[in-house]
A and B are shown apart, each in its own frame.
Chain A
Amino acid sequence: MEEIIKILEEIKPGVDYRTEKNLFEGHILASLEIIMLVSELNDAFDIKITLPYIKPENFRSAETIYAMVQKVMDEE
């Protein structure tokens, strides 16, 4: 979780990712930042996030992103 918050802060600083629950719909993360985030997550956790995971509900908050990473790791 800490690692994910660190990655998010690198991509877009100035947001409290511990409390923010609406990263995408609140226009905090734009389209390209999502692509960037996925690429960072793939590198950091040595996973490959495939297209079915690229949906808004997985990018709502640091927690949902964490849950997604967990799920990808479990499946791999």
Chain B
Amino acid sequence: MALHHPQRRFSAALALAAVASISLYASACATSTSSSSAGAAGAPAPALNITMSPVAPSPDPRVGLRAGTTAKVPADTTKRMMATRAAEAEWNMHLVKNVEANGPFLGVTHSDLAFRGNYVIQGNYDGYEIFDISNPRAPKSIKQIVCRGSQSDVSVYGNLIFVSGEATSGRLDCGLGGVPDSVSKDRFRGVRIYDATDIKNPKYIQSVQTCRGSHTHTVVEDPNDKANVYIYISGSSAVRSPTELAGCSDMDPSLDPNSERFKIEIVQVPLANPMAAKVITKAPILAELTRAPQNTARTASDNADRAATMAARGGGAGGRAGAPAGAAAAAGRGGRGAVPNNAGPVQCHDITVYPAVGLAGGACGGYGLLLDISDVKNPKRVFAAADSNMSFWHSATFTNDGSKMLFSDEWGGGSAPRCRSTDHYEWGSDALFTVDGKKSLTFKSYYKMPAAQTNLENCVAHNGSLVPIPGRDIMVQSWYQGGVSIFDWTDPSHPKEIAYQDRGPIDGAVQGNGGTWSVYWYNGYMYSSEIARGLDVFELQPSAYISQNEIDAAKSVKFDYLNVQGQQKLVWPASFSLSRSYVDQLERSKGYAPEKLASIRADLSAAEKLSGQARKDFLAKMATGLHTDARGSSDAPKAHTLASSVGDLAKL
């Protein structure tokens, strides 16, 4: 049962053709050898470089990387802790900087990331750290706040910083000494609020205690309520005693309607007085989830896979092994047998909200939920997907238009090596769905980082974000010690890896704990929180899959702040890079003949050399012509998008 991605079979056959840029090096990790341009205006538009191979390097250089840590290690530690650097492999992306873990956070798990202006905030099980990223190639640590209480999931809103605390060792006074008593007024589990008006010196202003603490949290902006911001609290730990925090109940809801079970806590933060933040309601989004809807498409897919597996067994071919069990098993047909009324997950692991489309994705135990959040204080479940291959639904990501969704499965919780050649492709992967009419989800396929990892490397699907390539759905995602994987899921039935970076195991002798917790695109670069090795900064490199124009267009999308679990709509300002991106995409899709593409590129270059009214007139005329041409394109929607983008350029 091999973890074989179909593309690996192709790449084996075409190994000699692989000329894509790939670097494999063993030491320099902090060098900054820029190869990407900033898209110099006026330069001739580069044609899509067809000499770049669309075939991934083979054999996959991520397999068998030498172990090592980049962290500074005291001289008197054991031999295994030698300060060696792991070998690294990267393809179509480049590590521009690693800032090693240091001070009180050395040896303590780094967790999630949030962004505000020129700052990135990195959580750590013992607190959080703020970096100045005015120069993304040289992040500068400006503050370490020591305040224990994993996981320290971090978010921002305005001048506020929110930090999750779940561990029973968390203290109200931020002390590191733990809490000796099983019931204690000193214990803190919930969300801590900091006033970071002075980001160099955030002030701890409020602790919102919650019944099961906060494993993760999601800041939700209510378009209809500008006076407050809301926080959905997710947990994965047990409910605490009512003697520690009044009102907490873990009883069956039929016995105690105020039970914490099947609910998420919602915190309201008054922006004029954030110290008054409190839990205002507990939304029963998991109530009466006894029966997940039957997914006929999924069942059909299961059957097809099953047939394929049987065929593969007979023919001895590799390929995608491990046929999924029927969806019916996970979905549950109800019927006979004792399905208790209170079946279903009692809590959620993480929720991603997308206020622009009024939806949220809840990753809750054995289910992926689609939630209607048009009433922020009263989220409602509209659909629940179950999948027999998904062990623990971990997090969700919407595509920019909200028409597709990805749920990750953190099988084994992130501490287990689930990317070995023996682990099923479908297990510990991403499940991709279409969102149909904001009402239901239809399963399309799985995606899993395809390079086999060792049993020394914890590896499973984890956090990621969209990469704002216009007109496509590109995702960058963390796979712990499986590294960073970038893939295209524009076609959710055929996701494809297009870039990656990976290091060898953190420890060459026993299974260690390291790797990337989360990697997010923010204003032109990708920032990765490395559990043991600190903060990494990556940039995309042009390839057969992503052109320089597309990278430049992606870099034109700017956010003032970013919490990835609070998705913001990506909006691309009109630019020559944007229009050229669509030309490049039409070349890839063969939407226009090569001569036509050349003439459009020449026209765009000619327009760029003009200025003032002459440029506007030229572009307006060009846009009109392109709309007419689009009707004859085999990729008419993209051709119209190109025409409209040129029209927008004319209005600049």
A-B interaction: no
